[in-house]
Amino acid sequence: MGADSKPDRRLVVAGHGPAAHRLVEALRERDTAAAWTITVIGEEPRAAYDRVALTTHLEGADLAYPAHGGEVAVHTGERVTGIDRGARTVTTSTGRAVPYDALVLATGSSPFVPPVEGRDLPGVFVYRTIDDLDAIREYARGKATGAVVGGGLLGLEAARAIQGLGLRSGVVEVAPWLMPRQLDEGGGAMLRRHIEALGMAVHAGTPMRGLEEGEDGSVGRVVLTGGTEIDAEVVVFSAGIRPRDELARGCGLPVGERGGVVVDASCRTEDPAIWAIGECALIGGTVYGLVGPCFSMAEVVADRLLSRDSTAVFGGADMSTKLKLMGVDVASFGDPFAGPGDALGVTYTDPVAGVYKRLVVSDDAQTLLGGVLVGDAESYGTLRAYVGGSLPGAPEQMLFGGTEAAGGDLPGATVICSCNNVTAEGIRCAISEHSLTDVPGVKECTRAGTSCGSCVPLVKRILDAELTAAGIEVSKAICEHFDYSRAELFDIVRAGRVASFTQLVEEHGTGRGCDICKPAVASILASLGNGHILAGEQAALQDTNDHFLANLQKNGTYSVVPRVPGGEITPEKLIVIGEVARDFGLYTKITGGQRIDLFGARVEQLPEIWRRLVDAGFESGHAYGKALRTVKSCVGSTWCRYGVQDSAAMAIRLELRYRGLRAPHKLKSAVSGCARECAEAQSKDFGVIATENGWNLYLAGNGGMRPRHADLFATDLTDEQLVTYVDRFLMFYIRTADRLQRTATWLESLDGGLDYLREVIVDDRLGICADLDAAMARHVGAYSDEWRDTLDDPERLGRFVSFVNAPQTPDPSIAFEVERDQIKPLPLEVKR
């Protein structure tokens, strides 16, 4: 089927919906040699239009796609009725025979109407086309009640439309909750609360028995199997779709058992001249009903038609979706239904605000599998971009937008717009090649954000990152409450001696703050040593883990991580850790950072555990904070025959110096005693490798999701030079980095990169080295262990209870089983 095999080849497209329109546009864009003449035959009386926005037709919106230019013949109001595969012609409803060299079936689907009594009564409609909506609007005049059968995406859109026509409406859904294909039970329940609050009745979990006549012989009510009757003078069926595969059946092409034209990964049927795309195609055993996969199929066929050597295939589909239903943000991405044993669920519910959020992660909590957002879907774009990849932060932080990567950090292959299959790299290239400076320009050039629109916030973030890289000024406001970047807020707090968030927002911001600015300001205040993080107002600003100075785990328990500087520990201290773990029944694990984690502590047990550890000489390891975590080391010259410096002693010195140092993100370090690099220093935020003449310092490395080798900053440093440069590096990073920005991305964002950083830290180009030195000296002099400080303060200790009204009562939902002679958490039972 290559374009070079025969000139002026004839393509016939049966159907003119969104998939057909995309196919024709893709061919026109790529077929520079005009190898194909295109004929489109569509049965609706109008050309292709945007079905995603169908409901807005009742509000006067123009849904029409731009008309095809060039040599494209579009025949509306005409239907393909038969295919002669031998003669390679199609017959139409007007009696015409149209020849083809390639035929693409894009006939879409038809609404499914269950075979219930009364389905043919006047006043019963389906919700599929503009004509359907026009008929509903005309019939609804003078009517008072309506009902929609089907609580999926289109059914809720239909219910919104019925209500907008002035009818008192309700929704009937056979599944136990609304939107069962996209939402889990918790998300469906929260959505139901929103919809019922709008005055719309929801009947879920009960099948419909049939429809009954009203007094005028038209439909009058919906009857459920339990006997419930719902008054409805207008009934709209939106209970699913069925692929329109009658043309394939008529000419002997294989179809699926439940419908759909069988095609291979290239969207070709068993007849090499016939293809199928969109909702009529059965590909990999699945019929896809979302616009994104349908568009992807169109792109595949366009590539195949234009190149004999094309290897384009349909590689599956992102079924993520985001929409606003009756004013309620609803989103689903990835696989939100992975069950116990396969995945873990992290859930947040706020019944007062009407918010439900759930992330599904792999059983090792390292990979994002999917999720559901109801009531607040602001983080949808970023979360969807990470599906299938490593988590850039703790799952509970990601629920509130606490992701590390900004738009500019996302890998190029990340699909940003699933509707139009636009990647991050595609957007970046368009911005660069066409000098784009605003979102409308990006949308026009790439199609990203032009279908459902859910990816627009992420498109904006990528645009901002690209403009900044190009030297074009964009707003750096941290959020709507402050017109300043994090670095600017840091300077405001430092110079103005601001002591609290309330003071900062009153003097330099607006409103009450949000989940973006509050933790950022809390980090700034902590970095400047403005009090214990659980003191007064500070406590309310902290992230989840900081609230309890421990890491929250999936079953509601916490892990406790005492500091072990440089990984060096005495036998006596090892015994204490073992005794604490034994006495409190904790799970123990040695980490890659040369520490011992103790898992499974209930919140009311934390102070008791800390007291035992503090009495033995331990202190907080700050595993819960955006702070220094560890300085890893090898044994160095003290023990190792290859060591050239005492790496363990230097690691301990650095860790004790920077312990408790709050930063925009967590910090990790390591010291290796020779070039064999056993401590893996070059993957750390700051790493040190011994030489015969001193120390080599490496900066801004990063392990994890997007590994980055640290850059060699300085060589053969003395002990004092090394400490001085690390001091300045850390303080300059803390002052100037964005919120949740790791040192690796921070260095990449600096104009001039490593050379500029060297000028600032070594040459004092900005004249701030003395200030940086003094800031670090203040931190070192003011350090106090957060665990010990909490134990000494009865008011702070009062927060460590499972139940405020029963402080001594443990949480009964926490349960364990034993595996490999240690405890293992059982999943929390979800209470609804």
Structure-token pair, residue 809: 């009562």
DSSP, collapsed to helix, strand or coil, labels residue 140 as: helix
Burial of 581 (0-12, 13-18, 19+ CB in 10 A): buried
- Residue 526, C-beta contacts closer than 8 angstroms, at least 6 positions apart: 533, 538, 662
Helix (H) / strand (E) containing 526: helix 517-527
Helices (H) and strands (E) counted in the chain, each on its own, are: 25, 38
Tokens 């964005």: give the residue: 738
Interhelix angle 719-736/486-496, rounded to 10 degrees, is: 100
Tokens 């690209």: give the residue: 466
429 known ligand binder: no
Q: Please name the amino acid found at residue 2.
A: G
- Residue 138, C-beta contacts closer than 8 angstroms, at least 6 positions apart: none
Helix (H) / strand (E) containing 782: helix 769-782
DSSP, collapsed to helix, strand or coil, labels residue 96 as: coil
Structure-token pair, residue 155: 């059914």
User: 13: which strand partners?
Assistant: 40, 104
Name the E strands within 364-466.
Answer: 368-374, 415-417, 422-423
User: 368: which strand partners?
Assistant: 361
The CA distance from 330 to 339, in Å, is 21
The CA distance from 194 to 177, in Å, is 13
Contact 163, 272 (CB under 8 A): no
Burial of 763 (0-12, 13-18, 19+ CB in 10 A): exposed
The CA distance from 211 to 235, in Å, is 9
Interhelix angle 439-446/424-434, rounded to 10 degrees, is: 110
Contact 42, 33 (CB under 8 A): no
Burial of 247 (0-12, 13-18, 19+ CB in 10 A): buried
- Residue 440, C-beta contacts closer than 8 angstroms, at least 6 positions apart: none
The CA distance from 669 to 27, in Å, is 53
The CA distance from 194 to 515, in Å, is 23
Contact 173, 155 (CB under 8 A): yes
Contact 455, 381 (CB under 8 A): yes
Distances (CA, A) of 707 to 237, 392, 636, 703, 738: 52, 12, 25, 4, 19
How many Cβ atoms sit within 10 Å of the Cβ of residue 144?
A: 12
109-111 and 241-243 as β-strands: parallel, antiparallel, unpaired? antiparallel
H runs (alpha helix) in 91-212? 130-140, 153-164, 185-197
640 known ligand binder: yes
The CA distance from 713 to 720, in Å, is 15
Q: Each residue of 147-180: b (16+ CB within 10 Å) or e?
A: bbbbbbbbbbbbbbbbbebebbbbbbbbbebbbb
Report the largest interatomic distance among the alpha carbons of the chain, rounded to a whole angstrom: 100
Structure-token pair, residue 726: 């690390």
Q: Please name the amino acid found at residue 620.
A: S
Please enumerate, by residue number, every residue annotated as part of a binding site for siroheme: 678
Please enumerate, by residue number, every residue annotated as part of a binding site for [4Fe-4S] cluster: 634, 640, 674, 678
Please enumerate, by residue number, every residue annotated as part of a binding site: 634, 640, 674, 678
